């Protein structure tokens, strides 16, 4: 495949990933009485620390949490799908850089 075509395909994939990541907020069952801006604690996860999540909005009995949570040490923990998406975007970016260099140097 020609580098220009691969570059176009990778840019389209990257745009699709940005759309999917941004459109998928995390929803969890809300403790009763929680409202926008409230914080709820999640039990210790696989990394062994408690997460403090802010409610971005309440949808019925679900708390919708869009960005991520804070750990006990106030470290931001992005949602899982954002971590995977960011890795894929970084890999696509590396591929795009290589393809642009190939195009600039005239290598096929």
Number of structural domains found in the chain? 1
Over 60: is that where the pLDDT of 19 sits? no
Q: Model pTM greater than 0.75? A: no
Residue ranges making up the domain that contains 55: 3-105
As a whole number of angstroms, the distance between CA 98 and CA 92 comes to 10
Report the range out of 28-32, 45-49, 80-84 with the highest average pLDDT.
28-32
């Amino acid at each position: 495949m020609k580098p220009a075509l691969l570059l176009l395909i990778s840019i389209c994939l990257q745009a699709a990933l940005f759309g999917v990541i941004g459109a998928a907020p995390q929803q969890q069952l809300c403790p009763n009485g929680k409202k926008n801006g409230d914080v709820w604690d999640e039990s210790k996860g696989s990394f062994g620390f408690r997460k403090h999540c802010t409610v971005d909005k309440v949808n019925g009995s679900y708390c919708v949490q869009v960005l991520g949570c804070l750990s006990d040490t106030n470290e931001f923990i992005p949602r899982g799908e954002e971590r995977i998406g960011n890795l894929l975007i970084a890999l696509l970016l590396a591929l795009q850089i290589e393809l642009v260099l190939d195009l600039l140097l005239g290598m096929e």
